[in-house]
Structure formats: structure tokens, C-alpha cells
């Protein structure tokens, strides 16, 4: 994640570094605690752009939803508010797991906030075959070797919350899956990611952002220490 000291003027293209749909959505705010905070899902249209970026929906679906949102702005606003609330839940839930581990008692308390989103998602879901547009399996079960023959789908063309449901379902899957112990938080910012390194040694959301910034800060600190040491002689 870029912070005030590393970001050029204006919002940047959001990197996708979480390794999981639910975590990627949790990371849609840059510099969330700093002066350069930028929400990449601030509007319903932003939410659609992000959804196509991660291939959760197709460009044609996004176009239909965009037109529908213009006709039904109140529903679009409700879907956006729901997405923002879900994002808060994901950060709280998986942030706690990243910092304290998947303790069943504490996680169950956070689950009570996630459960309504999952309930709504599954009530609107149907079963479908592999997604022909998903070639690498980054977020959904698509037509790749070893992929499941069925997947959850949300086919209703008039459902503006279709951009919320898959995220909630993915979060529920992660919560009871074997990757839960790999949920980690960046050592320099609040972003979350799946640490798939062999020794669970990944520290940064992105080496080109927080990793590079940390290296620069250490270099500056070493130079300052060297100058102070030289001045003492």
C-alpha cells in the first residue's frame, strides 16, 4: 500500500495483492490511517470498476449494472453501503486472525457480523458450471485443471448487490478453509494478504510499495546515524 511519503499526487491504480477475493476487497482503501486516504470503492461505479478488475463480473455485466444503477440510484446506494459495511467486517475479522490467529471463540464473535452478508449471498445464489472467463482461478472456480465442476453464481440481472454477494461467500469459504492460517497483515500498513511463502515469511503487502519504503527508511536512518557518529569524533 502506498502512503503519504511514497504516493505521487492523485489516486493511483490499485494493486491487487491480497491473493483472495475477500482480502483484496478489504484492501480497497489506500493509506487508510493517513492523510492521503483514498477509497477505491467510494461510489457504486468505483465498485463496478474494481469488480471487473478482479474479474468478479464481466465488462458486459458491469455495463448492465451501471445502467440499472442510474435508473435505481437508491438501490445502488444501498448496495454500496452494504459493500462498505462488509469491508469493515472483513478488515476486523481477518485483521484479528492475522494478528492473533484463528481462535474459535473470538472468530465466532466476528462471524456474527459477517453472517447476514453470507445469508443474503447464499439466498441469491445458484449452482453453475465452471466460469469460462476464469483462466487462472485467482478468485473463482473456473475451467482449469483440478478445478471443481460446480461453482456458486449470482445470475439475477437486476440484482445490484451482485457485486457484494461473491465477496461474502468467498469470505465464508476462507473462514473454514485450510488457507485461514495463512492470512497475514503487512508489517507496515493495514492491508491483508495470504502468505503463501514456504516458511510463512512474507512481511509486506507489496515489495514495490511497503517493502521499498521500509528499505528507504532504514537507509535514511543508517545515514543519519553515520552522520551523528561522524560529528561525535
Q: Encode pLDDT of 52-103 as tens digits.
A: 999 999 999 999 999 999 999 999 999 999 999 999 999 999 999 999 998 8
Q: Encode pLDDT of 4-17 as tens digits.
A: 444 444 567 888 99
25 in any annotated domain: yes
46 in any annotated domain: yes
14, 46 Cβ separation under 8 angstroms: no
pLDDT at 129: 87
217 in any annotated domain: no
Instruction: In whole angstroms, give the CA distance from residue 182 to residue 71.
Output: 42
Kindly write down the DSSP assignment for every residue of 164-180, as one continuous string: THHHHHHHHHHHTSTTG
Total domains in the chain come to: 1
**E strand segments, the chain:** 29-30, 38-39, 126-128, 151-153, 183-185, 192-194
Q: Encode pLDDT of 149-187 as tens digits.
A: 888 999 888 999 999 999 999 999 999 999 999 999 998
How buried is residue 95: exposed, middle or buried, by Cβ count under 10 Å (0-12/13-18/19+)? middle
73 in any annotated domain: yes
CATH number for the domain spanning 177: value is: 1.10.3300.10
Instruction: In whole angstroms, give the CA distance from residue 200 to residue 195.
Output: 6
pLDDT at 161: 95
Nearest Cα neighbor of 191 from 18, 14, 40 is 18
209 in any annotated domain: no
Secondary structure element (H or E) that encloses residue 109, with its range: helix 104-123
Q: Name, of 157-171, 199-213, 218-232, the range with top average pLDDT.
A: 157-171
pLDDT at 217: 44
Domain range enclosing 180: 21-203
Percent over 90 (pLDDT), the chain: 55
Higher pLDDT, 214 or 188: 188
Average pLDDT, the chain: 82
4 in any annotated domain: no
pLDDT of 138 above 70: no
pLDDT at 208: 74
The pTM of this model reads 0.81
7 in any annotated domain: no
198 in any annotated domain: yes
Backbone angles phi, psi at 192, to 5 degrees: -110, 155
Instruction: In whole angstroms, give the CA distance from residue 112 to residue 16.
Output: 27
pLDDT at 13: 82
Higher pLDDT, 142 or 35: 35
Amino acid at each position: 500500500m502506498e502512503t503519504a511519503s511514497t504516493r505521487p499526487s492523485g489516486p493511483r491504480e490499485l494493486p491487487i495483492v491480497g491473493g483472495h477475493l475477500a482480502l483484496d476487497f478489504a484492501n480497497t482503501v489506500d493509506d487508510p490511517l493517513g492523510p492521503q486516504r483514498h477509497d477505491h470503492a467510494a461510489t457504486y461505479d468505483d465498485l463496478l470498476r474494481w469488480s471487473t478488475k478482479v474479474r468478479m463480473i464481466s465488462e458486459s455485466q458491469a455495463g448492465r449494472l451501471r445502467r440499472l444503477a442510474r435508473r435505481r440510484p437508491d438501490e445502488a446506494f444501498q448496495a454500496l453501503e452494504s459493500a462498505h459495511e462488509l469491508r469493515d467486517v472483513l478488515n476486523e475479522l481477518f485483521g484479528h486472525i492475522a494478528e492473533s490467529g484463528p481462535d474459535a471463540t473470538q472468530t465466532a464473535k466476528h462471524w456474527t457480523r459477517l453472517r447476514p452478508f453470507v445469508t443474503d449471498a447464499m439466498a441469491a445464489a445458484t449452482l453453475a458450471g465452471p466460469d469460462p472467463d476464469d483462466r487462472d482461478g485467482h478468485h473463482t472456480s473456473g475451467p482449469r485443471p483440478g478445478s471443481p465442476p460446480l461453482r456458486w453464481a449470482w445470475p439475477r440481472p437486476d440484482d445490484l448487490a451482485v457485486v457484494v454477494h461473491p465477496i461474502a461467500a468467498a469470505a465464508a469459504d476462507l473462514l473454514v478453509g485450510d488457507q485461514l492460517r495463512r492470512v497475514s497483515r503487512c508489517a507496515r500498513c493495514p492491508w491483508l494478504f495470504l502468505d503463501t511463502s514456504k516458511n510463512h515469511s512474507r512481511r509486506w503487502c507489496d515489495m514495490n510499495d511497503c517493502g521499498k519504503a521500509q528499505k528507504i527508511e532504514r537507509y535514511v536512518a543508517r545515514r543519519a546515524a553515520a552522520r551523528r557518529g561522524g560529528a561525535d569524533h
